[in-house]
């Protein structure tokens, strides 16, 4: 006898309709589909979403809700500490016979999924990666700790499969269960800190498509040469859409390849961009195999590193008041827009962990709260990379010189001028190190540390570790 009971489709970091294997399978079953989103910050401990991420989530859910209503469906919202209980209640209320979801690979996600699968009728699918973390392994059957061989393995498998189109339609239940009201979840900040986010971002499905289209049309071809210059629109800025799953990595992969094939975007630029997209899979691969990547250094000796506890320095860094223009520009861009250019993320991270010798955990926490693309795999991986304690990381002894980085990647100072208005009138010669001027602008702080001294101290701290 065929089963006509509804299927709950549990949306998580996959807030879209196309290339959504869990929804696709439910639609194909011809059984009624009930889309659900659960808000359970406690289940995400120790990483409940930060402020900027909540802002994005609010708008992404409103948009997904509208998209589903346009198709005669409804996004059912439920809040509670325990996803297991919320889903069990929904199964009981609706008489649903099955739950579908796309898999997550972080420890909180894996823990929840495993418990649910043991106890509830569930099917999980691959939705958020090019290749699943356990698909890619070394010849010895181990996971990869170095990027290049990982990348070669991914590439040797050819293109990931084509993305699935959004289902044309699906069955609806006679009635939907009660939904909570989005506004009651209070995801939006109360202090008006998000004002500029509205000018900067369109956190919707249409926004994701427009963002990618614009990148493929205008910047992808030059990505290889332009991606390191923060004043230029050289990168895709697709990261928050990818994190929330408003666009799938497989869709991005195939769209980028198609743009290269049609001549709309240069092949070299697209290849370089796809290589970057595979870094995301690498970070997920590492987090899956090293679930403590968010808290424990991959190189164990770093557990004994003599980090400094200096709240004043940490605050200066957070507020973009270190006296180093490129660092301050980055931190202010982050605060204002919820995003920061990758090159500048590397510079500010190096400054925190090497010039200030403040624990990378503090940087990861701040990014977690302020980035709209905050992502446990990429953020943990990025911070371990910067701190020199991660897999395939920049060695700790290789210390970025903020002035040289600034001159190399923001030579004219356009990026600094945009985010540090106190330095607006300075020439390209002065803007990277204003303290060297005869009369530096009074409104801008003096450097909080001397880079040359800080560098020596960092190297000394490293050598104490070796001893
Ligand atoms: C200290 C630090 C923290 C970071 N925290 C995050 C984070 O929380 N969330 C996040 O998405 N990225 C993080 N990154 C990685 C990277 O900075 C961003 O993915 C990138 O800046 C996003 O901009 P984009 O979409 O224009 O990237 P593009 O250059 O257009 O790249 C396309 C996509 O590839 C992926 N990608 C690119 N570079 C990397 C990388 N180095 N590592 C992993 N994936 C990459 C991203 O998904 C990105 O959206 C961090 C990097 C550092 C150094």
Chain segment 244-287, per-residue pLDDT in tens: 999 999 999 999 999 999 887 777 899 999 999 999 999 999 99
In short, whether 386's Cβ falls inside 6 Å of ligand 1 is yes
Mean pLDDT of 311-315: 98
pLDDT band at 363 (very low <50, low <70, confident <90, very high): very high
Mutational test site, ligand 1, from 130, 279, 342, 353, max ligand atoms within 8 Å of CB: 342
CA of 407 to the centre of ligand 1 (A): 22
Length of the chain: 467
Strands of the 33-39 sheet, one edge to the other: 76-79, 33-39, 7-11, 98-102, 122-125
In short, whether 243's Cβ falls inside 6 Å of ligand 1 is yes
When comparing pLDDT for 75 and 397, which is higher? 75
Mean pLDDT of the chain: 95
Residue 397 has pLDDT above 90, yes or no: no
Mean pLDDT of 171-199: 94
CATH 1.25.40.80 location in the chain: 129-162+203-289
Residue nearest to atom 6 of ligand 1 (CA): 379
Residue nearest to atom 12 of ligand 1 (CA): 378
Angle formed by the axes of helices 360-370 and 51-70, to 10°? 40
Residue 467 has pLDDT above 70, yes or no: no
Distance of alpha carbon 338 from alpha carbon 330, whole angstroms = 11
Phi, psi of 185 (to 5 degrees): -80, -10
CB neighbour class for 206 (10 Å; exposed up to 12, middle 13-18, buried from 19): exposed
Angle at 408 (CA atoms; ends 269, 238), nearest 5 degrees: 40
Residue 1 has pLDDT above 90, yes or no: no
CA of 299 to the centre of ligand 1 (A): 22
Using alpha carbons, list the distances in angstroms from residue 357 to 3, 169, 350, 361, 396.
60, 55, 9, 11, 11
In short, whether 143's Cβ falls inside 6 Å of ligand 1 is no
Q: Where are the alpha helices (DSSP H) in 372-440?
A: 376-387, 402-409, 414-419
Q: How far is CA 431 from the centre of its chain?
A: 31
CB neighbour class for 300 (10 Å; exposed up to 12, middle 13-18, buried from 19): exposed
Distance of alpha carbon 336 from alpha carbon 341, whole angstroms = 13
Distance of alpha carbon 309 from alpha carbon 97, whole angstroms = 53
429: left (phi over 0), alpha (psi -120 to 50) or beta: alpha
- What is the three-class DSSP state of 29? coil
Residue 466's pLDDT is what? 66
When comparing pLDDT for 329 and 108, which is higher? 329
Model confidence pLDDT, tens digit, residues 8-20? 999 999 999 999 9
CA of 378 to the centre of ligand 1 (A): 7
CA of 239 to the centre of ligand 1 (A): 6
Choosing among 1.10.357.10, 1.25.40.80, 3.40.50.1220, 3.30.1360.120, the CATH entry for 129-162+203-289 is 1.25.40.80
CA of 238 to the centre of ligand 1 (A): 9
Residue 360's pLDDT is what? 98
CA of 67 to the centre of ligand 1 (A): 28
CATH 1.10.579.10 location in the chain: 300-466
Residue 333 has pLDDT above 60, yes or no: yes
Residue 57's pLDDT is what? 98
* C-beta separation of 421 from 384 below 8 A: no
Distance of alpha carbon 328 from alpha carbon 416, whole angstroms = 8
Architecture of domain 300-466: Orthogonal Bundle (1.10)
* C-beta separation of 431 from 423 below 8 A: yes
Model confidence pLDDT, tens digit, residues 401-445? 999 999 999 999 999 999 999 999 999 999 999 999 999 999 999
> What superfamily does domain 7-127 belong to in CATH?
HUPs (3.40.50.620)
Strand partners, 38: 78
pLDDT band at 393 (very low <50, low <70, confident <90, very high): confident
Residue nearest to atom 21 of ligand 1 (CA): 342
In short, whether 281's Cβ falls inside 6 Å of ligand 1 is no
In short, whether 242's Cβ falls inside 6 Å of ligand 1 is yes
Mutational test site, ligand 1, from 348, 366, 378, max ligand atoms within 8 Å of CB: 378
In short, whether 239's Cβ falls inside 6 Å of ligand 1 is yes
In short, whether 176's Cβ falls inside 6 Å of ligand 1 is no
* C-beta separation of 285 from 136 below 8 A: yes
Strand partners, 125: 102
Mean pLDDT of 140-144: 96
Distance of alpha carbon 69 from alpha carbon 67, whole angstroms = 6
pLDDT band at 2 (very low <50, low <70, confident <90, very high): low
Residue 53 has pLDDT above 60, yes or no: yes
* C-beta separation of 105 from 288 below 8 A: yes
Residue 375: DSSP 8-state: -
Mutational test site, ligand 1, from 50, 282, 382, max ligand atoms within 8 Å of CB: 382
Residue nearest to atom 38 of ligand 1 (CA): 276
In short, whether 236's Cβ falls inside 6 Å of ligand 1 is yes
Residue 361's pLDDT is what? 98
* C-beta separation of 102 from 125 below 8 A: yes
Angle at 380 (CA atoms; ends 281, 369), nearest 5 degrees: 115
Distance of alpha carbon 169 from alpha carbon 87, whole angstroms = 24
Question: Which of 234-243, 384-393, 455-464 is predicted most confidently?
Answer: 234-243
């Amino acid at each position: 006898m065929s089963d006509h009971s509804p299927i709950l489709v549990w949306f998580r970091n996959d807030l879209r309709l196309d290339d959504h294997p869990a929804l696709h399978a439910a639609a194909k079953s011809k059984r009624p589909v009930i889309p659900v989103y659960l808000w359970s910050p406690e289940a995400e401990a120790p990483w409940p979403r930060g402020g900027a991420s909540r802002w994005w989530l609010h708008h992404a859910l409103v948009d997904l809700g509208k998209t589903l209503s346009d198709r005669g469906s409804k996004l059912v919202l439920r809040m509670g500490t325990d996803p297991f209980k919320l889903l069990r209640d929904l199964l009981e209320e609706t008489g649903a016979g099955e739950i579908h979801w796309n898999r997550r690979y972080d420890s909180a996600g894996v823990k929840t999924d495993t418990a649910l699968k043991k106890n509830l009728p569930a099917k999980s699918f691959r939705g958020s990666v090019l290749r699943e973390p356990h698909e890619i392994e070394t010849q010895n059957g181990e996971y990869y700790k170095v990027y290049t061989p990982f990348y070669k393995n991914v590439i040797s498998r050819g293109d990931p499969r084509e993305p699935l189109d959004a289902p044309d339609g699906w069955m609806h239940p006679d009635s939907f269960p009660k939904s909570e009201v989005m506004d009651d979840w209070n995801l939006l900040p109360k202090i008006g800190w998000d004002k500029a986010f509205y000018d900067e971002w369109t956190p919707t499905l249409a926004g994701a498509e427009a963002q990618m289209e614009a990148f493929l049309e205008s910047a992808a071809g030059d990505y290889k040469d332009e991606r390191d210059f923060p004043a230029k629109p050289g990168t895709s800025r697709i990261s928050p859409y990818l994190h929330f799953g408003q666009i799938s990595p497989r869709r991005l992969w195939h769209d980028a390849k198609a743009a290269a094939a049609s001549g709309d975007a240069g092949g070299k630029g697209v290849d370089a961009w796809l290589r970057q997209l595979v870094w995301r899979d690498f970070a997920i691969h590492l987090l899956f195999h090293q679930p403590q990547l968010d808290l424990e250094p991959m190189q164990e000796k770093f557990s004994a590193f003599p980090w400094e506890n200096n709240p004043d320095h940490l605050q200066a860094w957070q507020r973009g008041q270190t006296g180093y223009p490129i660092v301050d520009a980055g931190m202010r861009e982050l605060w204002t827009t919820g995003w920061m250019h990758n090159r500048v993320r590397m510079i500010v991270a190096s400054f925190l962990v090497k010039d200030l010798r403040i624990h990378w955990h503090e940087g990861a926490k701040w990014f977690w709260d302020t980035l709209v693309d905050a992502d446990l795999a990429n953020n943990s991986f990025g911070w371990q990379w910067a701190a020199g304690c991660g897999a395939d990381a920049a060695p700790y002894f290789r210390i970025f010189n903020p002035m040289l980085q600034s001159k190399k990647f923001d030579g004219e100072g356009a990026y600094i001028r945009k985010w540090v208005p106190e330095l607006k009138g300075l020439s390209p010669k002065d803007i990277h190190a204003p303290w060297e001027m005869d009369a530096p602008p009074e409104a801008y702080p003096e450097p909080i540390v001397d880079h040359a001294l800080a560098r020596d101290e960092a190297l000394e701290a490293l050598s104490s570790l070796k001893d």
